[in-house]
Chains A and B, each alone.
Chain A
Amino acid sequence: MTSKICAVIDYGMGNLHSAHGALQTVAPDTQVLVTGDPEVIQRADHVVLPGVGAIRDCMAEILNQGIDDVVREVAKTKPLLGICVGLQALMDRSEENGGVDCIGLFPGQVRYFGDDLTENGERLKVPHMGWNTVRQVDHPLWQGIDDESRFYFVHSYYVDAVRPEQVKGHGQYGVDFAAAMGQDNVFAVQFHPEKSHNAGLALLRNFLNWDGQA
C-alpha cells in the first residue's frame, strides 16, 4: 500500500516548518511534502495553501508561479485547506495594499478591521493577535473539537463573506467575521491551526482524514 500524500504549497512566502511539522505529527504515515511543483501538488491526496505576510506579495508569487491555476484545479477534485492569508487569497479581492485581486474561489472581500475598533465600549487593538474562540457551523473538520474552542489568530484584515452558508466558523472581534469558510471539498481558516496546540492539531487530523464530502 502506498502512503497518502499531503502537499503543502510552497510559493516562497516563508516559514512552512510549522505547517509541515504539525501535519506530519498528526499523520505519521502520510507523506507531507512542502512543494511548489504543480505536478506533485496535482498528485497529492490533500493540499494545503498556507500564507503569511502581505496579500500583495503573496498574490504576486501565486500568480508568478501559476499557483492560482493549480489551486483552481485542486479545488475541483480533492480536499484543500487554506490557512490565514491562504484563506484570504481564495476570496475575490482584498483591500490590503491599496486593493489586490485574489483567486476568487469564494465570493467576498477581505477588509481592514479599522483603527477605531471597539466592542462593548472597549477599544480593540489591531492586529487581532492571540487566542480567540470560534463558533462552529456543522462541518466534518470540527469533529471532536469543542464548540467555542480557542485558536491562534494574527491578522489585521478579515473575510467578509457574501454567502452566509459558506461561513463554517464565526469569529468575533468588533465585527462578526469568517474564521472558517467552506464549500464542497474546500475548507479555509483565518487562524493558524499549526500554532493552535491541541485544537489546531485536531483540525489538521480531521482534514487529513477528510474525503472532501461536506
Chain B
Amino acid sequence: MALAKRIIPCLDVDKGRVVKGVNFVGIRDAGDPVEIAKRYNDQGADEITFLDITASHEERETTVHMVEAIAEQVFIPLTVGGGIRELADIRKMLNAGADKVSINSAAVYNPEFVKAASDRFGAQCIVVAIDAKQVGDNHWEIFTHGGRKPTGINAVEWAVKMAEFGAGEILLTSMDRDGVKTGFDLGVTKAISDAVNIPVIASGGVGNLQHLVDGVKVAGADAVLAASIFHFGEYTVQEAKKFMADAGIEMRL
C-alpha cells in the first residue's frame, strides 16, 4: 500500500455559482456549487478545485460565501484559484474553508508573493498554477491571460523556482491541450515532475480515461485534474478511479 494518486474535478465559478456547463443527470440546479461538490464527493473525488472567474473584486465576496457553504458540508480538500493576488485574498479563502489556494498570474508578476504566502500560511496550502505552451522541441514557455500572453519564461525552470520559493504543489495546465481532448502534454508534465520534489497535478486535454492513466504512468503526475469529462456525465469519478486502478495505479477506491 502506498500514497494514492488523486483525481481532482475542476469547476469554474462566477459570483458563487458554478458556470460553464456542468450538467449532471438528476441534479436540481446545475449551477449550485454545494450540490455539485457533494455529487463529486459522493463519487469519490479526492479533492475539488474551484476556479473563480468572477470579474470584479467586490463580487468575489459571493465566492467566499460559496466556499464557506461547501466546507461545512463536503469533507474532502478544496482548492480555490483565480484572482488570488494578495495575502488578504489567501487569508479570506482559507478562513472561508478552502484548504489550498492556487496562484497563477500574480506569481508571474511578483514571484516574491509566493514566498510571502508560503511563509505566512505554509507550503501545504500554496499551489502555483502554471499555464505552459510548447514553443519548440522540449521547450515550453509560461503564458498568462488564458494563454494569450507569452512571458518568455521557461516553464520547467519556473516550476523549479516556484518550488524553491515555497510552493507546496504545482498545477500544470497545457494551454495547447486545454479543451482539445487529445490528452495531457506528457512531455512538459514529465519534465516538470522530474525536475521538482513537490507534487505535480496534470491538467488540460483529458478526453478519455486512458489519458488519466498516461498522465500518471508516462508523465509521473501525482494527481490529474479534469473538468468536462466529468461534468457531462461521460464518466463518473468512480469509473475513472476504477480504470486507473485496473491499470495498476494506486488509487483510493
Spell out A's residues near B (CB within 8 Å): 14-15, 17-18, 20-22, 24-25, 52-54, 115, 119, 123-133, 148, 150, 152-156, 172-173, 192, 194-197, 200-201
- Shortest B239–chain A CB gap in Å is 18
Is the Cβ of A131 less than 8 Å from the Cβ of B75?
no
Residues 51-93 (chain B) with a chain A CB within 8 angstroms: 68, 71-73, 75-77, 91
| In contact, B124 and A129 (Cβ under 8 angstroms) | yes
Tell me, in angstroms, the Cα distance from A119 to B2 when the chains sit together. Answer: 9
B122 near A53: Cβ-Cβ < 8 Å: yes
Closest B residue to A115 using CB positions: B197
Q: Are A130 and B73 in contact, CB atoms less than 8 angstroms apart?
A: no
CB distance from A18 to the nearest CB of B (A): 5
Would you call A17 and B3 a contact (CB within 8 A)?
no
Contacts of B73 in A (CB 8 A): 21, 25
Distance of A159 Cα from B119 Cα, bound (Å): 22
Which 4 pairs show the lowest CB-CB distances between chains A and B? A21-B72, A17-B97, A53-B122, A133-B1
Residues of chain B within 8 A (CB-CB) of A126 are: 197-198
The complex places the Cα of A167 from the Cα of B91 at a distance, in Å, of 34
Residues of B within 8 A of A154 (CB): 77, 99, 124, 168
B1 near A197: Cβ-Cβ < 8 Å: no
Q: Mind listing 18 A-B residue pairs with CB under 8 Å?
A: A15-B99, A17-B72, A17-B95, A17-B97, A21-B71, A21-B73, A21-B97, A22-B75, A52-B122, A124-B3, A125-B197, A129-B199, A131-B6, A132-B4, A152-B77, A154-B99, A197-B41, A201-B75
Chain B residue nearest to A129 in the complex (CB): B199
Q: Does B209 contact A (CB under 8 A)?
A: no
Please report the C-alpha to C-alpha distance between residue A197 and residue B74 in the assembled complex, in whole angstroms: 8
Residues of A within 8 A of B97 (CB): 15, 17-18, 21
Binary interface encoding of chain B residues 1-17 relative to chain A, with 1 for a CB under 8 A from any of its CBs, else 0? 11111100000000000
**Least CB distance, B65 to chain A, in whole angstroms:** 11
- Where the two chains meet, the residues of B that have a C-beta atom closer than 8 Å to any C-beta of A are 1-6, 41, 46, 68, 71-73, 75-77, 91, 94-99, 119, 121-125, 168-169, 196-199, 222-223, 252
With both beta carbons as reference points, the residue of chain A lying nearest to B77 in the complex is identified as A195
B121 touches A14 (CB 8 A): yes
Q: Known: A130-B223, A131-B46. Is A18-B122 also a contact (CB below 8 A)?
A: no
Task: Please state if A129 and B122 are interface contacts (CB–CB under 8 Å).
Answer: no
Q: Is the CB of A52 within 8 A of B125?
A: yes
Shortest CB–CB separation between residue A161 and chain B, in angstroms?
20
Whether B123 and A156, one on each chain, are in contact in the complex, defined by CB atoms closer than 8 angstroms, is yes
- B1 engages A148 (CB within 8 Å): yes
Q: Closest CB of chain B to A165's CB: distance in Å? A: 23
Verify B222–A15 contact, CB threshold 8 A.
no
Bound together, the chains give a CA A195 to CA B91 distance in angstroms of 19
Which residue of B3, B75, B123, B198 contacts A130 across the interface (Cβ within 8 Å)? B3
Q: How far is the CA of A156 from the CA of B91 in the complex (A)?
A: 21
Residue from the list A124, A125, A150, A195 in contact with B75, Cβ < 8 A: A195
A22 / chain B contacts, CB cutoff of 8 Å:
75
Specify which chain A residues have a CB less than 8 angstroms from the CB of B169 in the assembled complex: 127, 129
B138 to chain A: closest CB distance in Å?
21
B77 touches A132 (CB 8 A): no
Whole-angstrom CA separation of A132 from B6 in the bound complex: 11
Give chain B residues whose Cβ lies under 8 Å from the Cβ of A150. 4, 252
- Among A25, A131, A156, A172, the most chain B Cβ lie within 10 Å of the Cβ of A131
Inter-subunit contact B121/A53 (CB<8 Å): yes
How distant is the Cα of A125 from the Cα of B192 in the complex, in angstroms? 13
Residues of B within 8 A of A192 (CB): 77
Whether B1 contacts A172 by the Cβ 8 Å rule is: yes
User: Of all chain B residues, which has the CB nearest A24?
Assistant: B72
**In the bound complex, CA of A124 to CA of B220 (Å):** 11
6 more contacts with CB within 8 A, not counting A14-B95, A194-B75, are A14-B121, A17-B96, A17-B97, A125-B222, A130-B4, A150-B252
- Give the residues in chain A near B91, CB-CB below 8 Å: 14
Chain A residues with Cβ under 8 A from B1's Cβ? Answer: 132-133, 148, 172
Residue of B nearest to A18 (CB): B71
In the bound complex, residues from chain A placing their C-beta under 8 Å from that of B98 are 15
Beta-carbon nearest neighbor of B125 in chain A: A52
Interface centre among B4, B41, B71, B91 (most CB of A within 10 A): B71
